[in-house]
Amino acid sequence: MSYMEKLLIGTRNQGKVMEFGQLFHSVPYELVSLDDEEITIDVEETGSTFEENAILKAKGYSRYSGLLTLADDSGLEVDALGGRPGVRSARYGGDGLSDKARIELLLSELLNVPWELRNARFCCVIALVSPSGYETIAHGSLEGIIGTVPKGSNGFGYDPVFYLTGRSCTTAELSPCEKNKLSHRGQAANKVFSILNDGLLAT
């Protein structure tokens, strides 16, 4: 069996690990997570933008592991909340909250906001960094509306309340295949797929 170079996915979020596994299932790399590589350090997300945090994580984990590393920073921007939770999406309300608790917090803040003013978007930036210094980034976004009650059991994070008007459902009601075609992460992933798929990236 021929050796396959590793591609480190710089996250501990198992939902993201699963999605990246689906998005990059055909690239000529062995996808591994931080847990697979027993990497216990955490790169702090000190940036003020999705782009800054994605690059921080990709560079930090690549430097530590010596592996080609892909990291993303993504989140939810709600117009009625001035763009919050934004880069704080995964830590909204505090580090100890569950996805369910964060959704409840978000809905409570939008309790008196009418449907037509509940516009929001999922944003994603993916950074790909190699130990030799190669670096690239890709962006993706998905427009929607924050629903009033959670619906669907697929996905993770804010998916159950992110309503897609064109589909008349939330992203948590989509199949994994449908979500990957539409999602902010899927859009960004498509932009780096060809770089990974050619197998010629110097690391």
- What pLDDT, on the 0 to 100 scale, is given for residue 197? 80
Which has more confidence, 176 or 113?
Answer: 113
- What pLDDT, on the 0 to 100 scale, is given for residue 3? 61
pLDDT band at 201 (very low <50, low <70, confident <90, very high): low
142-181 pLDDT, tens per residue? 999 999 999 999 888 999 999 999 899 999 999 988 988 8
Residues 174, 154 contacting (CB under 8 angstroms): yes
Q: What percentage of the chain carries pLDDT values higher than 70?
A: 96
**Residues pairing with 32 in the sheet:** 8
Residue in 36, 42, 72, 73 annotated catalytic: 73
Q: What percentage of the chain carries pLDDT values higher than 90?
A: 68
63-82 pLDDT, tens per residue? 999 999 999 999 999 999 99
Domains of the chain, CATH where assigned: 6-197 (3.90.950.10)
Look up 73 and say whether it is catalytic: yes
Kindly tell me if the per-residue pLDDT of 18 is higher than 90.
no
What's CA 13's distance to the chain center, in Å?
9
Q: What is the mean pLDDT of the chain?
A: 91
Give the Cα-Cα-Cα angle 149, 13, 160 (nearest 5 degrees): 10
